[in-house]
């Protein structure tokens, strides 16, 4: 414990020595860093109390040897018995919370490395948000206390450790969070066995069933990890038995880097009822839906009319244009690997088997939720959006040409509390490439291009996530859509709901509107391609 404390202090002094931390946030006290473990607050009266432990374990995923994993294990100390539901495999228990509940999570680290837990999508105070500065060491405890301010929806939790988010999440440190509220309960959406979580992840295994992470060095890292085995709820070859009626599917992409293009094998359109953070205003149908890392989508799926005994397979469909393209050794714009599933190739995800007949089925509600559609009139900076520039110069994925610094914020990253801000997320490499006459690139033929190399700007899709409150998408602008592969993904973006992660395609500019209310402090924003996050494609906003 002591060694850890000294480490932390040394780390902090190091940051401070650069001057940036101290200059950017003089109020940040050393005393803060000294308080490495915290205590439950007696003023906080929890409705729900959970003990959550991160530990190493072994689970059976493939036939044969058990797979060594990291796991969250939960124990309910107080609150409704339905608060925790188990998930198969390595996934942590699902936390089923109610809007307005006061939640205390007593988190223990039993791993041999430091870790910290982040409640992805939830609007909580800075100290409860799982910033890497609050990581705890083996044997230490961190008490999270927050009120559930979010509306009904599907969120998740995961490790957020400095430069180790990708490896810890990959090894299993993730779980779902569902939230319900009164508005949602009135809708009588499919519940219980008809409300199914679908966590999609890709993994790679050794011949004795152990998890295999990056193997091919820097270029694989910059592209992001892509596994050759799809796991659904931590299991392989998943077949889900269903009845001839409507279901609510909560799909969540828990992969490090893989982007899915969800589509039914028989071409049936998908009916979305919810996005990352909340239900949509009304159901919307899509020919396919893009689901980038960290994104969630809730579907209304009606199996009535299907033949008992038949199957319906959900696929990831073919698409192009999201992978890095540049000269040099990079193989193929679709990230094809000798032995893997390329990014953008077509493969089955999960099979639904119509196992039983039933005649009762709920009706799809025409209206799901009510919320204010944010416009320029609501924002503090209609003409001066905050800019988040995405670039990958010299193999370094960056935000506004800066890498992550634990406590630093630049001028453009300071946000007054209780304001609503317009934020423009821009792919910078694209503009640069145009200016330099490096040519367009269609994302398919990257391997053949010459004259680039490591110093060249690369263009690839980034799923950008902002901590704190959910945001709305105001606009998407694509330059140079022709031949970019954009037409293979563009009809799969849901732009009408509350989001906390948005996929920004090469050459794209996405403008969002996001409230920064209630809480002050450091809130992260980053690429949720977890390899990029760990490489430093992350920064802080200081809300004050």
The residues of the shown chain that bind ligand C2O, judged by CB under 6 A, are: 118, 120, 158, 160, 294, 465, 467, 524, 526, 528
Reduce the DSSP state of residue 154 to 3 states and report it: strand
* Joined tokens for residue 160: 């957020």
CB of 527 to Cu ion, least distance (A): 3
Gap between the Cα atoms of 240 and 447, Å rounded: 39
Examine residue 24 and tell whether it contacts Cu ion (CB under 5 A): no
CB of 118 to ligand C2O, least distance (A): 5
Q: Which residue has the tokens 């992001």?
A: 224
Examine residue 320 and tell whether it contacts Cu ion (CB under 5 A): no
* Joined tokens for residue 260: 């899915």
Name which of ligand C2O, Cu ion, none residue 499 binds, using a CB cut-off of 5 to 8 Å depending on partner kind: none
Shortest-Cβ-distance residue relative to ligand C2O = 120
* Joined tokens for residue 220: 């694989």
Examine residue 165 and tell whether it contacts Cu ion (CB under 5 A): no
Examine residue 532 and tell whether it contacts Cu ion (CB under 5 A): yes
CA angle 136, 102, 544 (to 5 degrees): 65
Name which of Cu ion, ligand C2O, none residue 467 binds, using a CB cut-off of 5 to 8 Å depending on partner kind: ligand C2O
CB of 405 to ligand C2O, least distance (A): 15
Q: Given candidates 127, 334, 433, 462, which one binds Cu ion under the rule CB under 5 A?
A: 462
CB of 70 to ligand C2O, least distance (A): 16
Closest to ligand C2O by CB, 116 or 262? 116
Residues 6 or more apart whose Cβ sits within 8 Å of residue 499: 275, 276, 277, 295, 470, 471, 472, 473, 512
Binding-residue pattern over the window 473 to 512 for Cu ion, x denoting contact by CB under 5 A: ----------------------------------------
Examine residue 527 and tell whether it contacts Cu ion (CB under 5 A): yes
CB of 174 to ligand C2O, least distance (A): 9
CB of 406 to Cu ion, least distance (A): 20
Gap between the Cα atoms of 125 and 146, Å rounded: 7
Gap between the Cα atoms of 206 and 229, Å rounded: 11
Closest to ligand C2O by CB, 49 or 534? 534
Residues 6 or more apart whose Cβ sits within 8 Å of residue 276: 121, 153, 154, 155, 294, 295, 296, 470, 497, 498, 499, 500, 501
* Joined tokens for residue 199: 């966590």
CB of 298 to ligand C2O, least distance (A): 18
Name which of Cu ion, ligand C2O, none residue 433 binds, using a CB cut-off of 5 to 8 Å depending on partner kind: none
Name which of ligand C2O, Cu ion, none residue 422 binds, using a CB cut-off of 5 to 8 Å depending on partner kind: none
CB of 293 to Cu ion, least distance (A): 9
Name which of ligand C2O, Cu ion, none residue 203 binds, using a CB cut-off of 5 to 8 Å depending on partner kind: none
Mark the segment that binds Cu ion (CB under 5 A) among 333-341, 351-359, 498-506, 520-528.
520-528
* Cβ proximity of 159 and 118 under 8 Å: yes
Name which of Cu ion, ligand C2O, none residue 160 binds, using a CB cut-off of 5 to 8 Å depending on partner kind: ligand C2O
- Chain CA centroid to CA 428, Å: 22
Closest to Cu ion by CB, 198 or 425? 425
Closest to ligand C2O by CB, 158 or 243? 158
Q: Which residue has the tokens 């979305």?
A: 272
Name which of Cu ion, ligand C2O, none residue 430 binds, using a CB cut-off of 5 to 8 Å depending on partner kind: none
Mark the segment that binds Cu ion (CB under 5 A) among 300-308, 456-464, 500-508, 518-526.
456-464
Annotate 516-539 with b (16+ C-beta within 10 A) or e (fewer): beebbbbbbbbbbbbbbbbbbbbb
CB of 354 to ligand C2O, least distance (A): 35
Name which of Cu ion, ligand C2O, none residue 532 binds, using a CB cut-off of 5 to 8 Å depending on partner kind: Cu ion
Q: Which residue has the tokens 């849901």?
A: 494
Rg, C-alpha atoms of the chain:
22
Name which of ligand C2O, Cu ion, none residue 457 binds, using a CB cut-off of 5 to 8 Å depending on partner kind: none
What backbone torsions phi and psi does residue 200 show, to the nearest 5 degrees? -105, 125
Strands of the sheet containing 260-264, edge to edge, are: 239-243, 347-356, 311-316, 260-264, 289-291
Task: Mark out the alpha helices in 314-442 (DSSP H runs).
Answer: 428-436
* Cβ proximity of 543 and 421 under 8 Å: no
CB of 158 to ligand C2O, least distance (A): 6
Residues that bind Cu ion (CB under 5 A): 462, 527, 529, 532
């Amino acid at each position: 414990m002591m060694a850890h404390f000294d480490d932390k202090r040394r780390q902090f002094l190091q940051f401070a020595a650069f001057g940036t931390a101290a200059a950017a946030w003089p109020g940040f006290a050393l005393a803060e860093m000294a308080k490495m473990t915290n205590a439950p607050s007696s003023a906080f009266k929890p409705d729900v109390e959970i003990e959550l432990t991160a530990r190493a374990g072994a689970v059976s995923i493939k036939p044969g040897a058990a797979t060594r994993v990291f796991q969250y294990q939960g124990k309910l100390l107080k609150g409704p018995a339905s608060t925790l539901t188990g998930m198969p495999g390595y996934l942590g228990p699902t936390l089923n919370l109610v809007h307005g509940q006061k939640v205390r999570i007593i988190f223990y680290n039993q791993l041999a490395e430091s870790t910290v837990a982040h409640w992805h999508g939830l609007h909580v105070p800075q100290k409860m948000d799982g910033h890497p500065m609050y990581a705890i060491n083996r044997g230490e405890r961190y008490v999270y206390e927050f009120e559930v301010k979010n509306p009904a929806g599907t969120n998740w939790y995961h490790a957020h450790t400095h430069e180790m988010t990708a490896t810890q999440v990959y090894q299993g440190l993730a779980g779902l969070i569902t939230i319900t509220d009164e508005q949602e309960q009135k809708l009588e959406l499919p519940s219980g066995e008809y409300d199914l979580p679908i966590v999609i992840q890709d993994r790679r295994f050794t011949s004795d069933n152990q998890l295999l992470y990056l193997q091919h060095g820097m270029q694989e890292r910059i592209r992001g990890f892509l596994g050759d085995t799809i796991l659904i709820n931590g299991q392989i070859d998943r077949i889900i038995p269903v009845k001839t009626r409507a279901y609510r599917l909560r799909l969540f992409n828990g992969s490090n880097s893989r982007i899915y293009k969800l589509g039914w094998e028989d071409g049936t359109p998908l009916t979305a009822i919810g996005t990352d953070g909340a239900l949509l205003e009304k159901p919307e149908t899509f020919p396919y839906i893009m689901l980038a890392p960290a994104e969630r989508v809730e579907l209304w799926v009606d199996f009535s009319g299907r033949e008992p005994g038949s199957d319906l397979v959900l696929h990831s469909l073919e698409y192009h244009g999201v992978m890095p393209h540049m000269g040099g050794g990079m193989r193929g714009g679709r990230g094809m690997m000798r032995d893997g599933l390329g990014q953008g190739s077509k493969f089955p995800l999960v099979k639904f088997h119509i196992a039983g007949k039933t005649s009762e089925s709920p009706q799809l509600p025409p209206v799901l939720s009510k919320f204010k559609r944010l416009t320029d009139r609501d924002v503090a900076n209609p003409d001066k959006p905050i800019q988040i520039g995405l670039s990958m110069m010299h193999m370094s994925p960056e935000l506004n040409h800066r890498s992550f610094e634990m406590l630093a914020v630049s001028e453009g990253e300071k946000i007054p509390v209780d304001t609503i801000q317009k934020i423009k997320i821009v792919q910078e490499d694209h503009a640069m490439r145009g200016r330099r006459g490096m040519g367009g690139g269609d994302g398919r033929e990257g391997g053949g291009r010459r004259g680039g190399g490591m110093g060249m700007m690369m263009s690839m899709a980034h799923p950008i996530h902002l901590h704190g409150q959910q945001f709305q998408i105001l606009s998407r602008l694509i330059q140079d859509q022709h031949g970019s592969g954009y037409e293979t993904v563009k009809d799969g973006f849901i732009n009408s709901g509350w989001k906390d992660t948005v996929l920004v395609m090469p050459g794209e500019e996405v403008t969002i509107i996001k409230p920064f209310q209630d809480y002050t402090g450091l809130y992260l924003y980053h690429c949720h391609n977890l390899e990029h996050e760990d490489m430093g494609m992350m920064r802080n906003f200081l809300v004050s």
